[in-house]
Structure formats: C-alpha cells, structure tokens
C-alpha cells in the first residue's frame, strides 16, 4: 500500500461493517453510496451483489463513474453518543473494477468470510463484479488523537 496507515486506522478498516463510497463522473458530479467492504491490509474491496437493482450491475452509476473517473474516496466512521468514542478514516485512491482473475476470487472469499449474508445470497467468486480501492492517501481522526 502506498498510503501510510496508522494501526488505529487499519483496525477501524478491518472491524467496521459498512462504509460510504464516493465516486464522481467525468464532469465531477458526485455520488455517495453505502457499501459493505473488506480490507485485506493493502486494499479495500466491495462487491456488486445480487440484491435487487433497477439496472444491470455494469450500468450502476458507481460502476460507470469508476470507468470514467477512477479516483474515489471511502469513508469508514464510528459514531457513538459518547463523543469521546468518535473516529473515522478516509481512504482516497484509485478504484478498479475486477471482473475476473484470482484477486477477484480472493476478494469474494474475504467478503463471504466477513458477511454471512453474502454466503446466504450466494455471492459467486466466478461471476461477481468487485471494486478494488487502492489507497493513495489516508486520513484518520479520533476524538482522542
């Protein structure tokens, strides 16, 4: 990974269950969507899963945006009514669409291990579309830091 990641930021990325993925189209129009993801210590991965969608997976706006503009941001945060527990990490980097190969299969295996819902819905390592986010810059904040 080219971006420095503190142990606290890495822990938050490993343990959190949901993130917000920010993409932008060629003209800069932003889109932010919640995603399930996994962090393997080097990159973050999110799958386009089998939940019902209005369009085909490759026609989803986030996928089209990444094709037009691969620079993305991923935000993982922890909210608590006790504000001394607040923390977040922002991962800025390049997104790539993985539609084949061993890295995609490994990412699907990691996602299935983290989320039992993916095992139940049959996220398939041979056909899933996976977004890989390669960090170029990370920012971490906590109330205590």
pLDDT digits (tens, 9 = 90+) for 52-102: 556 566 668 999 999 999 999 999 999 999 999 999 999 999 999 999 999
3-state secondary structure of 6: coil
CB–CB of 87/143 below 8 Å?
A: yes
Q: Are 43 and 94 in contact (CB under 8 A)?
A: no
Tens-place pLDDT, residues 19-28 = 999 999 999 9
* Alpha carbons 105 and 118: distance in angstroms, whole number: 14
Q: How far apart are CA 93 and CA 74, in angstroms?
A: 9
42: pLDDT strictly greater than 60: yes
Is the pTM of the predicted complex or chain greater than 0.85?
yes
- Choose the CATH number for 7-139 among 3.40.50.970, 1.10.150.530, 2.30.110.10, 3.40.980.10: 2.30.110.10
Which of 31, 13, 134 lies closest to 78, judged by CA?
13
Tokens standing for 99?
Answer: 């539609």
Which secondary structure element, helix H or strand E, spans residue 136, and what is its range? strand 129-142
Q: Sorting pLDDT into bands at 50, 70 and 90, what band is 1?
A: very low
Alpha-carbon distances, residue 38 vs 42, 58, 75 (angstroms): 10, 21, 13
pLDDT digits (tens, 9 = 90+) for 89-101: 999 999 999 999 9
């Amino acid at each position: 990974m080219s971006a420095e990641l503190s142990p606290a930021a890495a822990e938050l990325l490993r343990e959190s269950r949901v993130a917000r993925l920010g993409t932008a189209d060629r003209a800069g129009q932003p889109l932010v969507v919640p995603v399930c993801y996994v962090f393997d210590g080097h990159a973050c991965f999110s799958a386009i899963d089998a939940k019902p969608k209005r369009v085909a997976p490759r026609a989803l706006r986030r996928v089209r945006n990444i094709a037009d503009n691969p620079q993305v941001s991923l935000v993982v945060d922890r909210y608590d009514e006790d504000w001394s527990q607040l923390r977040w990490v922002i991962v800025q980097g390049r997104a790539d669409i993985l539609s084949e190969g061993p890295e995609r299969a490994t990412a699907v295996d990691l996602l299935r291990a983290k989320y039992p819902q993916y095992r139940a819905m049959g996220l398939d390592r041979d056909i899933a579309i996976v977004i890989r986010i390669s960090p170029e810059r990370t920012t971490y904040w906590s109330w205590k830091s």
